[in-house]
Homo-oligomer: A and B are copies of this chain.
Amino acid sequence: MLNPAADTHLEKGIVTQLRAYLAQIELPDDGRLPPERELSTALGVSRTELRKALDVLEAEGQLWRHVGKGTFMGSRPLDTFADIAALARRSNPAEVMRARIVMEPEICRAAAFTATPEDIAEMRMCLTRSRQAETWRQYEAWDTRLHRTIAEASQNTLLLGLFDTLNAVRRAVTWGRLRTEPVKPLPNHHSFAEHEAIVDAIEQRDIAAAAACMRAHLQTVERKLLDRQ
């Protein structure tokens, strides 16, 4: 290796050799090609050199790689974070509350316009059931269902899907000591009146009030989370 030009030429040679190999090889449906360790012996080059060549092709966008998965021809599938677990891993309770405050009032605004009497009846049922709850767990179940019923009432599949995603992340995020203690919710719990104000606004088709009440409610929830030592 006296000459750096010869060196470069050799590396490029591996790239072209790899290109030729990939052009002739029969690939499975998912475009996955053999693991690096196989490929290197098949091409008669060291794994280090093969990886350099793969780096080039990856930079060109001809293939993509992922640890544990393998190396694939074509472009990487959209890594849209629709993955609940991945989202929950990167997020935290503060973000969840902020996201709820951003989304739910507007969903509630839409729902005030589109909710059917049947929707509203279900909301009322959630209200009474949550008041009758004997444990925090039961209360939370009816609270969650109320919020989802409102999202359903928006009559928008996509909004409902986004709401569900948010909710799934909320459940998956680690709340730690923020969790409620195992005591029965008191009758003067702030959420009762706030929930009723929301449903009232929806029933009266007071669109602005519906959004405002939902926002106020969620802000109270957020504040209570911070208050708890």
Please report A residues at the B interface, Cβ cutoff 8 Å.
23, 26-27, 29, 31, 62, 73-75, 78, 80-84, 87, 90-91, 95-96, 98-99, 102-103, 105-107, 109-110, 134-135, 137-138, 140-141, 145, 148, 156-162, 164-169, 179, 182
Please indicate the chain B residues that have their CB under 8 angstroms from the CB of A99 in the complex: 156, 158-159, 162
CB pair B74–A158 under 8 Å, yes or no, is no
| A82-B164, A84-B82, A103-B106 known; A158+B73 contact, CB < 8 A | no
CB pair A87–B157 under 8 Å, yes or no, is yes
Which of B95, B107, B156 contacts A158 (CB under 8 A)?
A: B95
Identical copies in the complex: 2
Closest residue on chain B to residue A160 by CB atoms: B81
Which of B62, B90, B91, B98 contacts A110 (CB under 8 A)?
A: B98
Closest residue on chain B to residue A98 by CB atoms: B156
Please indicate the chain B residues that have their CB under 8 angstroms from the CB of A156 in the complex: 95, 98-99, 102
**Within the assembled complex, what's the spacing in Å between the Cα atoms of A162 and B159?**
10
Please indicate the chain B residues that have their CB under 8 angstroms from the CB of A62 in the complex: 138
In the A-B complex, the 3 residue pairs with the smallest Cβ-Cβ separation, listed nearest first, are A74-B141, A80-B164, A81-B161
| A26-B182, A102-B106 known; A95+B141 contact, CB < 8 A | no
